[in-house]
Structure 1
Amino acid sequence: MSSIITEKYNALWSDPKLVKRIDEGIRINRQSDARVRVTNFEGKPLPGIGIKVEQQDSPFNFGANIFKLGDFPEDTLNLKYEDAFCNIFNRATVPFYWRGLEPEQGRPRFSQHSVPIARRPPPDRVVQFCQDKGLRMHGHTLVWNYRKWSTPDWLPTDPEQAAPLWEKRIQEIAERYGDAIASWDVVNEIACHYEKNPDGMAMLPNYGSTAFAWSEKYFPTETRFDINEATGAWDIEDPEYTQLIEGILKEKRRMGAIGLQFHKFKDKDLLKVLAGDNSRPMDLLDALDHYTKFNLPLHVSEITLTSPENNEAGLAAQAEVAKNLYRLWFSHAAVEGITWWNLPDGCGAPGEHKVYSGLLFEDLSPKPAYHVLQDLIHNEWRTTEEGVTDADGYFNFRGFHGSYRIITSSQWSDSGMQSAMTLEPGKRTDQLIFL
């Protein structure tokens, strides 16, 4: 079957200047130098000691939404979903859409035993699962005035009457989950101006800043508060998102990160990318560079890439585009996380569920794109090194940031002794081991 990846697309992504920037960005921004030194208890260096360093985790957030947790009709499918999620991601976006969380006023569906609603697992269940599996969590979203997905039918349409209910919602969520979930999308898609069309809920002026103020009032001081915006945020020729951020920061609100959605909901959208006419790599880098002026982390917060027709050519194209985008985003110093949106096919919101945009087929078996990203995250961007200490007892290596286990081997009786170290941005790490 012929490829749908065009020569123009390949030329853009194989440009030597781009390749160099991405490769150097990954090396400089995601790796650090480290050395292990082995001595005896008198401080005499021990040469020839075998050293193996194994990276255990990464501070970078690789995530997806976890909206389908426990939502399949069979236990075997639920287990397959859980395994597929945990075998690639270290972070989960937890749904807090008001419409699904509190369809009946005063009876929020927090508990694990709540009545099931599709794609809206009770937060207690998600939090427990993530804690059991060691997954980080990101709450989405506290304030979003889109009626179709977010606001409950009982919410008053008058902004003055609705405002105290918005605040009460934030207070209740903070009291229950503030210590468990470290980061939140405080506001979502303000620049879409839903309040100006029938799909939106009218809001008080400057409600973005007000939402941040409410969040600061009720959540722990260490909680990170994000702003999140639709895919148009990548068009930096349109200054609106920039101005929104500037306005909230000017009011001294505690914004912690900037969210940038990246949705290609239709096959024709991906075909424009593959034609080299949309989302060109240098344009994406220019957008990331633009937002760095705020000195805040950037979160590529929602990703949709279709695999046109789910045939061989479409699957290969999805995998290629995903790999290129993840490498570009991972290379940029300001990006701290990348979040795929709908993990399996057929599991998106109505309208999204008809396209093949998952990393898994509907039977939850992996697509090529799943394997490509899994290889990047757990192999290419994960360090394991082996060698022996030199004459001065040193073993030097360069590794990706994260925590490491160190295993020694020698002729001594304490061969196999283990230690640990952490590689962090901007500094060399030294670890001393006594044998």
Structure 2
Amino acid sequence: MSRKNIAMMIFMLVATLLLTGCWDVTEPQRMYYVRGVGVDYEDNEYITYLQIINFATVAKTEQANPDAAPTEIGQARGKTVEEAIYKLYRSMDQDVFWGHMTFLLFSEKALQNEHAISVIDTFLRFRETRYHIWVYCTQDPIEDVLLVSPLLKRSPTAAKLSNPKNIAEQNSFVDPINLRQLVIGLNEPSYEISIPYVTINKNWETEQEDTTETSFSGVGVLSKDSFKGFIKGQAARGIEWMSDETNQAEVTVQLNNDEQDHLTVDIKKLSVNVKPIVHNNQAAFDVLLKFNVVLNGFKGKLSSDEVREKVSAEIKKEIMDTFKKGLEMDTDVFRLSEYLYRNNVKVWKKVEQDGKIPLTEDSIRKIDIHINKISPGRKTFAETIEE
């Protein structure tokens, strides 16, 4: 062997010995991964729930390992959320990694009396968590919501609370909110933010058992210093019509003919324009909605004018019902104060009270609806829509 080759081997040996490697890094299989956190409040203590994901069920999203528990839930109490989390650390036998945390779930009590603000601040400051953590609220038991598994026993990473955008293309009832959007909403007029309200849906079953799934059923309205309350079910329908984020929604109307009593249509390509109208330092708002309508099924003759009239009337009604419900709770559910703030900050400064402008039922001066196009869908039967 030549001296050159011997020198090269010695150099490589010395270089190898000098490499430090990753001796202080915890191996992935020796860690627990937090997917979701639930927070409740009772007897002057925070009750913190950690949902730990089992990566044996993640290898295949379409079909998880049937013999592995998809998640486990731990809970502990403390005067602060941090204290409760440290109590949970003591009951674990591996390190905990927070970088995969995808959602934060509040109970009604945890939202009251500014309890939620300190919790939000905790996860914003912690170096391992991210700003893109979805935020929800519920009145159901926190533990029951966290134990809900996706339909067809899919991987827990595919669950709705972790991926709320998955259903947005087909149904945009409530816009999901992440930590970043929540903080922005609480720091800009009207200093309130609507958080998706989650319930447990028990309408599913298999041959062996009944199953459950989570459902978005409204919103909870949180301000910078209090919790306003919930707007649920039909009373919350107006929220989707006042959001540009709505991809697709449905509305059911009653028709005035003998052949068919009701008609359900799809609303697509929704565009929302809110214009503040200022007169004598008083603000009102004109709302303009533009969208397309798709008819999925109907029987008998139906005119386009009738569809436009009925759909427009129903959407106007749902917007006003939600707005009035917000007024009952002393909340600016459509964030009209922010529209005035962006459009005319001088007037906003004159009329605002604690960051939002006084609102009445007459604050929405008018709602104009322009239906761009009505599509009758497939013409399978002889009946069609008449222009």
> What's the TM-score once normalised by structure 1's chain length?
0.22
Greater fraction of residues in strand: 2
Higher alpha-carbon Rg = 2
User: More relative contact order in 1 or in 2 (CA 8 Å, sep 6+)?
Assistant: 1
Which is richer in helix?
1
TM-score using structure 2 length: 0.24
